[in-house]
Amino acid sequence: MAIRKLLIANRGEIAVRIARACSELGIRSVAIYSKADEYSLHVKKADESYQISQDPLSGYLNPHHIVNMAVETGCDALHPGYGFLSENAELPAICKQRGITFVGPSSEAIASMGDKTQARQTAEAAGVPVTPGSRGNLEDVEDAVRQASEIGYPVMLKATSGGGGRGIRRCDNEKELRQNYVRVISEATKAFGSAEVFLEKCIIDPRHIEVQILADSHGNVVHLYERDCSIQRRNQKLIELAPSPQLEENQREYIGELARRVAKQCGYENAGTVEFLLDHDGSFYFMEMNTRVQVEHTITEEITGVDIIKAQIRIASGEELWLKQEDISYRGFAAQFRINAEDPKNGFLPSFGRISRYYSAGGPGVRTDANMYTGYEIPPYYDSMCAKLIVWAMDWPELIARSRRALNDMAIYGVKTTIPYYQQILNHEEFQAANFNTGFVEANPQLLEYSTKTRPEAIATAIAAAIAAQAGL
């Protein structure tokens, strides 16, 4: 079943990315946007664009409204991107009822793997190791205290329907568990509409390794190797790497096979990511499965040559996987830097505003996926990520050198960004030695001690703008 016209149920750089994939496949793309996104790049890149709401969020979060828009505009498919409704089991169910092809897994797979306790049970049934944890969801805080004493502190208190680093707290003792219980329940209810929580044993400063999988409707499942997401702050990823420079080849093959087992066990279809924690003793533990395309899918594309967005669309069309596991290999290393409009020196406070000047990085092995341009006003209602800088190189030392150069090439004026902070990380000896874990950022507060001296070109730009204003240009 060939897809002819596809609605992109998202915004920002991922909507631009999907529109580009549609263009290459000869599929007409339809963008939706809120009033705040009227001048967003995805609105310009799609073949058709329609305003879906006046307020910033409701249009992107109403599955019935979005599917109605797809039907009204003559679309036969819908891609959810990531975030918003991408892991909402209701959206694919509504699409199915209305005869719209959902580019993603089934509503049943989203529901089962979105429930963290059920996902753990699925992994266990597939023979995949999981961290010690509670027996299902917790009944109340007293149940949490009882089970935590059996598991042993520290523990992680997690929202059962959580994701994206939200609804999660580390508890080092009973007092902290009691204090955090109400907070996590509140966060889970507000963010995910569910008050269910569970416990896991806290693995201290692990490495965060995830595996990209593709699965079709004909029973075929392959992995596209792993990504290392250990460079993160408060459970929010900052820099992602593929493949992990910290794994041996036997570990790489082992974790790839574990991910395939999980996908097969839950009858998964389309693109997905199976996430693991790697302990200091070399043990891997299943953490969760993300039933959507990941922000960091880009680096897997760079090392394997597989276009994951186009693969999603082809699989949703009913095509059988054209790749077998033995056909897939990786070449070199890739890094993705999330260019966030934030001020690292001020607690990573969002820095929304107008982009007065923007220069994209380029050159060999450099790719930029962005949603901004000179004159663009970054709205304060959404995630602070305004671009993704993706760098590929043949080996690890070259990747670091090329990443330094690309970050230096990239210039964004008008707002503060995380670019200088990433330069600090690249210069750190432990990162250069490929020896880091999820505690890296917290263990190195000196990374914030960088110069904020204005670059010469920024001064020239400001002078030029002042002269133009004075001349009435």
CA distances from 288 to 15, 38, 130, 281, 333 (A): 25, 35, 10, 20, 25
Cβ neighbors of 68 (< 8 A, separation 6 or more) are none
User: Could you tell me the strand order of the sheet in which 284-290 lies?
Assistant: 284-290, 270-278, 207-215, 221-233, 236-242, 333-340, 385-393, 366-370
Cα distance between the two ends of the chain: 54
Residue located via tokens 């699965």 = 215
Residue located via tokens 């490495």 = 207
Tell me whether residue 260 is one of the annotated catalytic residues: no
The C-alpha torsion from 457 through 462 and 468 to 471, rounded to 10°, is -130
Between CA 55 and CA 64, with CA 60 as vertex, the angle to 5 degrees is: 110
AA letter at 5: K
- Catalytic position from the list 17, 292, 314, 367: 292
If we measure between CA atoms, which residue out of 463, 432, 231, 216 comes closest to residue 337?
A: 231
AA letter at 147: Q
Token pair in block for residue 400: 């670091």
Alpha helices in 388-428 (DSSP H): 396-409, 419-426
C-alpha dihedral sign at 123, 124, 129, 134: positive
The residues annotated with a catalytic role in the active site are: 292
